[in-house]
Amino acid sequence: MSSIKQFQVTFDCAEPERLARFWCEVLGYVIPPPPAGFATWDDFDRSQAPEDQGSSFACSDPSGVGPRLYFQRVPEGKVAKNRLHLDVRVGTGLTGEERLAALEAECARLIPLGAVRVQLLYDGTDSCIVMQDIEANEFCLD
């Protein structure tokens, strides 16, 4: 049996492009070029049936290492805690106050983008900050 080499993470959401652009800012991801024959994503979107316009968007790691993120519009809103969430690894290799300072600095950077700080989890050595993105999906600064 062969192993999986690539995967993408898919978000159900209300506003795919807006959420994709938020995550580009958080992760340093980029919006891929539009399909062949289209100068912009807006041009591509206008070529779609009205009910499909704005229904999905994607972003990717410019280094090709991280997974592609795909955002698809769904009619229902979020009703419960995520069963899966992203951990944004900003404190890797750090401990104690040094780790906490790195997490707090990243939290301060993300709040103006629309992220919401939910809770600091800190036991004196290990820490993470629970956050929400612009559609209230939980993620952690780890």
For 20, other C-beta atoms within 10 Å of its C-beta total 21
pLDDT of residue 1: 66
User: What is the tens place of the pLDDT at every residue in 89-109?
Assistant: 999 999 888 999 999 999 999
- Closest alpha carbon to 71 in 82, 60, 63, 81: 60
Adjacent-strand bridge partners of 21: none
Q: Say how many Å lie between the first and final Cα of the chain, rounded.
A: 33
Per residue in 69-91, pLDDT (tens digit) is 999 999 988 888 888 899 999 99
pLDDT tens across 49-65, in order?
Answer: 999 999 999 999 999 99
pTM: 0.90
